[in-house]
Amino acid sequence: MTCIIKKLFHATATRNTKAVRANAHDIVARANEYYTAIDGVDGTDATREALTAAGFGWMYDNTGKANKKGIAKKIMSPLSRKIKEGMAWLADAENADVFLWEASHDNATASLHDFANIKSALAKAIKDASPKVIADDASDDASDDASDDATDGKPQTIDEMAKAIIQKLGRKDADKLSVAIADLLNEGEGADKKAA
């Protein structure tokens, strides 16, 4: 099966916002698969192997210069590198929510067909968003806001804190933070503190 991201963004003939809107959830799912494939992988060769095994080998659409041994390896074209950046950006849950919101609104303004520049397109769309669209969405969330007012929106449990950190930092940086915290705990940091 052809990757939806390759089908819609790699071939210029098939780029259109309507198709992107119709496949928005599949696009986010594939971006998450991309992130999962490269998460924790170090090195160019290991990354290429991991992506190829996960069905993203199509991204290596150019051949690099031969090394001293005469071996030329597959590399990403500039378009594939931009698509890679778009997938990495979409793998963050907060960014995916923005993308899905934009894709689900008929009067949304972002040019979703330009996946290579999806981050800037969505940032501009949010800035230019109609106050009516934002107000409609805000009224849907009014009941959620009432419960947040009681706690001033501050996390009350460890799970809420973790979710808030992930939303604030994004998936990749939150993962790095959790590793750093685990390392500090292993080194004895906070041993003199007791749980509240």
Q: 4 Cβ partners below 8 Å, 6+ apart?
A: 23, 26, 27, 30
**Do residues 132 and 156 share a domain?**
no
**Do residues 192 and 113 share a domain?**
no
Domain count, the chain: 2
Q: Which of 122, 140, 158 is the last residue of a domain?
A: 140
**Do residues 100 and 190 share a domain?**
no
pLDDT of residue 134: 43
pLDDT of residue 98: 82
- For residues 107 and 37, the model is more confident at 37
Mean pLDDT of 94-119: 73
**Do residues 86 and 9 share a domain?**
yes
**Do residues 164 and 98 share a domain?**
no
**Do residues 10 and 96 share a domain?**
yes
pLDDT of residue 147: 47
Containing structural domain, residue 158: 149-196
The per-residue pLDDT for range 132-189, each reduced to its tens digit, is 444 444 445 544 544 444 556 666 777 777 777 777 777 777 666 676 676 666 677 6
**Do residues 105 and 195 share a domain?**
no
Q: Is residue 108 predicted with pLDDT exceeding 50?
A: yes
- For residues 69 and 1, the model is more confident at 69
Query: Could you tell me how far CA 11 lies from the centroid of its own chain?
Result: 21
pTM above 0.85, yes or no: no
Q: Which of 55, 111, 52 is nearest to 86 (CA)?
A: 111
Q: Is residue 131 predicted with pLDDT exceeding 70?
A: no
**Do residues 72 and 166 share a domain?**
no
Confidence at 11, pLDDT banded by 50, 70, 90:
low
DSSP output for the chain: ---HHIIIIISGGG--HHHHHHTHHHHHHHHHHHHHHHTT--SHHHHHHHHHHTT-GGG--EE----TTS---EE--HHHHHHHHHHHHHTSHHHHHHHHHHHH-TT----TT-GGGHHHHHHHHHHT--HHHHHHHHHHTHHHHHHHHHTTT---SHHHHHHHHHHHH-HHHHHHHHHHHHHHHHTTTTTT----
**Do residues 51 and 135 share a domain?**
yes
**Do residues 108 and 128 share a domain?**
yes
